[in-house]
Structure 1
Amino acid sequence: MMPQRKEMTTEMGNGTMVQEFTLEGFPAVQHLGKVLFMVHLLAYLASLTGNVVIVTITCADSLLQTPMYFFLSIFSFTECCVTSSVIPKLLVIFLLGPQTISFPACFIQAFVFLFLGAAGFFLMAVMSVDRYVAICKPLHYPTIMNPRTGLLLVTACFSLGLTLITVLVVKVSQLSFCGPHVIPHFFCDLGPLIHLSCSDTTSVETLTFVLALCILLTSLIITIIAYSNIVVTIICLPSAKERRKAFSTCSSHLIVLSLMYGSCVFIYVKPKQTNRLESNRGAALVTTVVTPLLNPVIYTLRNKQVHQSLREMMCRIKISK
């Protein structure tokens, strides 16, 4: 049931300008709200814990202070921020029903989510390049992937994401919103927001499609080129043990890439953003809940160095007590 709310609109020309939106959430399963609240709360806490552990052990263990783990720790930190920008509001929706969000807060949430998401895709491309250099050019790896290069690459990822998403969010925020005010989603994503606008949204939808395609294709092309060279190099390795070890270091990255690209292509790479709004909610859950939860598991289960660092950290904690 939609809670009663006070209308907050301002006269603007012949119509009204919406001052707040209502996040609908998942009305079809709202009767299971308390159960879903507990499930998603546990998933959120597990995701935060896993990603924070990765960041912590990377900073604490000198053996893990390499470019690969530096990029992984930045990616884990980004995942923590992405989930924290969306999941708390989703938990409130599951517990109390549809929730209102002010116009500025809505666009801030959209900006944070999309900016960090875009930066995350560029980071994944950088991680692919890092694996390419490590496997295909091992003798030059310390020279090419030095701390200064790593820092520059991370800065470039966030700067590019910031520029592209700022342009897009500002463009969408300039649309007229005269009602309805109900967003059929659990957070302020741009697709549902564009759908609610009473302006001509053709140019904005085209811009959204082009930028989404640009972000996803750029990172995907870089990844494909990097892994094509990696596969060729691995196949040429003389020892089966060496081939297994090389494939093992890349498999975790490829699994995470598949999850991220699959859900985001489904949500954003559509010329018409009004299509499939209902199914987008399910795909968005994969991006905001499932992928950040699985990332620490995928990256640590197959990694002996991380296992060793975790054991040493636990031993130090026990000794300090």
Structure 2
Amino acid sequence: MRASRLLSVLLLLQAHGRMTATQLAERLEVSTRTIYRDVESLHASGIPLYGEAGHAGGYQLLDGWRTRLTGLTTEEADRLFLAGLPGPADELGDGAVVAALQLKLHAALPPPLRERAALLQQRFHLDTAGWFADGDASAHLSPAADAVWRQRRIEVRYRSWAGEVTRVLDPYGLVLKGGRWYVVAGRPGRDEPATYRVNQILALTTLDEGFDRPADFDLSSWWRGHVQQFRARLHRDEATVRLSPAGRARLREVASDVVVAAVESSAGPPDEAGWVTAALPIESLTHAHGDLLRLGAEVQVLAPTALRDRLAATAAALARLYHAD
């Protein structure tokens, strides 16, 4: 740990030019006393490092001196493509590795590119979680990631739609979708991989046996196909509805692109009030009932009768509730 911290001190000074002991201590999450000891050790090892007292003082390296200790470790190189995703990296247990990687990359850049990188960090931020949830917190995400890296078979106890099940899985990869983590895994004796939501894993054991990952398996390509199949299966039924102009605008906010496109392509000419009749893809009566309630009085269901009756009953119950006095 201390050797790593000494290197971090050098890289910080190399990247920023001059820093005080307090600034270094805050960045490295240690005491200023520890920084003083680290600076003395660097002096003793022959590093051309000097300090100046006063308000504008601090430590800096001799002009023109640069460390050559910026080479990436194997672990850091493996995670290079996560460097722009500090949130997901933290969830995977790699936050410290990514922070060290970013520091090394920053220190290795020439001044013009270093300034551009700093501007990018100040002006762009990627937040992968949804608006109404912080993502999937799971104690089993890091072990699952480790099993993916090392190609180790795992045994999981999993909460599925049919109840709790136990599965032995060959984890091919992890996918972050809408703030939720999924492990894509094969099962011994079965050809087609499946997805398992990580926060539905109740227990995970890494087994001593490895597995052979299919040579032709490409995670990103497989996931794209999986998403397309999921969307195709999602809306198997259809409702006929009338939508006001406000309802059509609101639909774009609450429905998927597939639903919006289907409505727009099937919509007839607007009437005098601007309402249109269209075919609305639905997953089920229950899902459609909840989704269409979000449009309030800006939508009218013409068919099927069962969905129309459900919405009418809900509207009547709401009217009784608010006119109870």
- The normalised TM-score by structure 1 is 0.25
Higher percent of residues as strand: 2
Higher percent of residues as helix: 1
Structure ranking higher on relative contact order (CA contacts 8 Å, 6+ apart): 1
